[in-house]
Structure 1
Amino acid sequence: MRYCYICGKVDSSVSLHKFPSDKNSKNRWLQACTLSELDNVKNIRLCSRHFNNDDFIDLNARRHGGHITLKRNACPTLQMKASKKMNPKILPEGDDMVQHASTSTSQLTFTSQIIPFIPEVLQNNEITNNVLSDITAPSTPKIRWFIEPRYISEVGSPDVETPRRAKRVVRLAKSELLKKNKLIKSLQAKNRYLNKRVKCLKDVILRLKDKNLVSSNSSNK
C-alpha cells in the first residue's frame, strides 16, 4: 500500500503524488524532502496535505470521477518538518536511544570479512576479536540506489535527520549486530569441535607410542 513519505498518510481523504520527471522540479522536491539525487525516489509518494490549493489543477476532480493533478511547477511546502518533531506514535519507548542514534549511527560502519583457513586452532577470544574488529573499520562510501539504506555502510546524515529514519537505522544496526553474533557463535562452535578433535588425536598418538606402534620422531612430524 502506498503512503506519504513525509507524514505516512494512507487514508482516502488525501491524494498521493509521485516525484515529477522534470529535472528542475524534481530537484526542488528532493530539497524539500531533504533527499539527494542518489536516492531512488521512483516509488516515493507525497500526499496532498503538503501542497497549497493553488498547486492543484482542479481540487474537485474526484467528484466527477477524475484524478487530482498537480500543476507542473508545484512544489511541496506545507508541514514538511512535521516528521522531525518528537511524535510518540513514531518514536520507540526509549527516546534517548533514537537521539543517540542521530549523532552516532552515522559513524558506525560494518565491513564483511572472509576469514581464511588457519591450520592452528584459534582461541575463542581470538575469533571474537577477528569478527568484531571490522565493526568500527572505515569503509569507502558507496553509491546508494535505494531510498532506504540496506547496510550500515550506506547510512548517511539524511538517514538520521528525523525520528522515523533514526528508528529505522537503529533497527538496521541491531540486525547487523545479530548477524555478527551468530557468526561469532558459529565460529566458536567450530573452534570447540577442532579443539576436541586435536585432543583426541593426541590421545591416539600417546596410546600408539605406549604400544611402540609409532616412534617419537614420526609423531613429531
Structure 2
Amino acid sequence: MARPDVRHYQQVAGFMLSGETIPFLGAGANLVERPDDVSWKDGKYLPSGRELAEELVSLGLYPDQDDVDLLRISQYIATDAGRRQLYKHLRRLFDDDYPPNVLHKLLAGLPPILRERSVDHQLIITTNYDDALERAFDDAEEEYDAVWYDAKPGASCGKFLHRAPDEETVAIEKPNEYQALDLAQRTVILKLHGAIEQLRDHPEQLRRLPRRLSHTRGSAARSAGSR
C-alpha cells in the first residue's frame, strides 16, 4: 500500500488546527511507537484489538480458539460467563500504568494552540478501554469532559455518563437535549465502549474497593471517602 505523501499530512494538520476534524482512535492507536517485533506488555505497551481478542480466547471462555473478532468474543463471554467475568479480565489487562504515546501527547498538546487561534476544542472519539489518552491530558494539565458508555448492570446501564472536571458523574438521560458539553470550553473525550476505572491517584486503602467498568475515578474516591 502506497504511503500518503507530505501534502496529505499537511492537509490533515491544517484541518486539525482549524477544528475541522474529529480524531477517532481505535486499537491501532496503541501501536504507535511500539516496535514491530515487540508484543504488548503489562504496564508498558497496550494490546491491539487482535491481541486483546487472543488474550480473552486464551482464558478458555470462548469455544473457537482461532477466532480473533474482539466484538464477537466479548459478546459471547458476557452472555455465556456473565458481564462480571468479562469486566474482571478486562480490568486485569488494562488497570495498569500504561504511559501515553506520542499520538496521545499530540492530541493533548493541541488545546492551547486551538485556544490561541480562537478555535473550538476537540471532540475525540475512542473505542479503547484504557486511559492513556486521559493520562496525556492530565500530564499536560489540560481539562477535559469524559463521556463513556455504561454497560454495567444498574440504573444507568445502556446510557452515556458524563464527568466534568472536579464534578460528580451524571447520566445523560436525553442526549439530544443535553447542554453540559461545550467544546468552546474544553476537550470532550468520548469512549464508545466504556473505560476501566482506576483509583491510582487516591489513598492506598481505596485500592481495595471493588472497581467497575467505567471511568469514574474522582466520583468513586469521593463516595468511598464519605463512607
Fold in common (TM above 0.5): no
Say which structure is richer in helix: 1
TM-score range, shorter chain: under 0.3
Query: Based on CA coordinates, which of the two structures has the bigger radius of gyration?
Result: 1
TM-score (norm 2): 0.24
Give the TM-score normalised by the residue count of structure 1: 0.24
